[in-house]
Amino acid sequence: MSIKSIILAAGKGTRMKSEKPKVLHEIYGKPLLGYVLDCVNGITDENFVIVGHHAQEVEDYVKSNYKNAKTILQSPQLGTGHAVSMACDELKNYEGLILVLCGDTPLIQQETIAKFVEFHKQNNSDITVMSTIFENPTNYGRIIREPDNTLKCIVEEKDATSEQKAVKEVNAGIYCLNWGKIKQAFSELTSNNAQGEYYLTDIIAWGKKKALNVNAYILENNEEIFGINSRINLAQATKILTKRVLNNLMTNGVTIVDPDSTWISPDTEIGQDTIIYPSTYIEGKNKIGKNCKIGPCAHLRGGVEVWDNVKLGNFVEVKKSVIKSNTNVGHLSYIGDSELGNHVNIGAGTITANYDPLSKVKSKTTMKDNVKIGSNTVLVAPVTVEEGANIGAGTIVTKDIPAWSLGITRSPLKIFTDWVKDKLR
């Protein structure tokens, strides 16, 4: 059965105190919306992102990064039920399953969504709501079940009785819908409430009236539905995600010397027996091989491919580069838009000058196998250092260096005897 998703991403996110749309705020260089889209990709064949606030920015991000996603404008924004209804024209002949998710929940995992869909199918559900348990469920809509354990209704806290408020099972805000049976609901929802909005939760009562099969699936790890509403939430979610990533890496044979000071994106792969030293920050999508040593205080900015037995020293920054096996990049160096061969040695303080601020063009630096670069060298891209060449310390490389050659730019050293003493007199 076909599965598509509708992702709600139209909100302004007032508490973020930002000109940027909430769903485009980033964790490890990837927008919150990207985490949700990546989660459903592989399960869905098409995704619809409902946009509103700064719609063009969100649309540009989606178009640039996801071929199987399409944005739909919600204007004006009249609630979550109204948001889902914006996709009805696109889905008027569709009879498969629809997943509804929020674009500000970056911690939800693909495995969880897969289990959720399987539960929906096994129970022959027409509507399945994801729920979870909170010891303190304040401010969440409560899940009220029938005697046969199916879902009776969702009661918002302001409308709940004292008995209902004691319920710890709450609405997690993710839905699985048999679209052929449910789509009619979105033309029949009403806005008879204090906010004058159309609520997605109202489809539960609608489904019950139609004698549809309505269920709730309990998510075990309630951290996964953590929503981002403020900068504080953003920092909290980053810590939760980081802990998940680091624990997974350590379980699979990577040494993290100090998890409390190490930050690694979930889109980074790291091979066994690699050691990540303290205060290292790795963002974006990267692949690091086996038996490497990274840091301390290293920064990988994305698009980095590191082969086996590589050492990136302290205060090394790398971006959009390939570093092949048995290569060493000394401390205080910057490697950007570069390809380094096997058995290359980069001395401390080496810089690849990859950016021309006038043309705004970034160019490539290539260092072939067995190249040795002396400390405090600047390689002005585009430039190639051929196999086995050596570059003397303090050199500025502005043209290609032939294989097995020495490149050096160095003024003669002048020594003025007793110059200091003369000055002090």
User: Contact, 52 vs 75, CB < 8 A?
Assistant: yes
- β-pair partners for 401: 385
Q: Please state, in angstroms and rounded to a whole number, the distance separating the CA atoms of residues 255 and 246.
A: 9
User: Contact, 155 vs 162, CB < 8 A?
Assistant: no
User: Contact, 50 vs 85, CB < 8 A?
Assistant: no
Per the listing, tokens 């009776």 go with 152
Positive or negative: CA dihedral 286, 289, 290, 291: negative
The helix (H) or strand (E) run that includes residue 276 is strand 275-276
Q: Please state, in angstroms and rounded to a whole number, the distance separating the CA atoms of residues 38 and 36.
A: 5
DSSP code for 290: S
Q: What angle do CA 21, 22, 26 make, to 5 degrees?
A: 105
Per the listing, tokens 């997690």 go with 172
Q: Please state, in angstroms and rounded to a whole number, the distance separating the CA atoms of residues 128 and 118.
A: 11
Give the distance from CA 17 to its chain's centroid: 21
Q: Please state, in angstroms and rounded to a whole number, the distance separating the CA atoms of residues 135 and 144.
A: 16
Q: Please state, in angstroms and rounded to a whole number, the distance separating the CA atoms of residues 319 and 312.
A: 12
Which is it for strands 311-312 and 328-329: parallel, antiparallel or unpaired? parallel
Query: Is 25 designated active site?
Result: no
**Counting beta carbons within 10 angstroms of the beta carbon of residue 281, is it exposed (0 to 12), middle (13 to 18) or buried (19 or more)?**
middle
Per the listing, tokens 């609608």 go with 206
Positive or negative: CA dihedral 82, 86, 92, 97: negative
Catalytic residue among 54, 120, 331, 343: 331
Which is it for strands 127-133 and 169-178: parallel, antiparallel or unpaired? antiparallel
Write the CA distances from 303 to 189, 344, 366, 425, integer angstroms: 46, 20, 16, 57
User: Contact, 256 vs 249, CB < 8 A?
Assistant: yes
Q: Please state, in angstroms and rounded to a whole number, the distance separating the CA atoms of residues 319 and 338.
A: 8
Q: Which residues does the annotation mark as catalytic?
A: 331
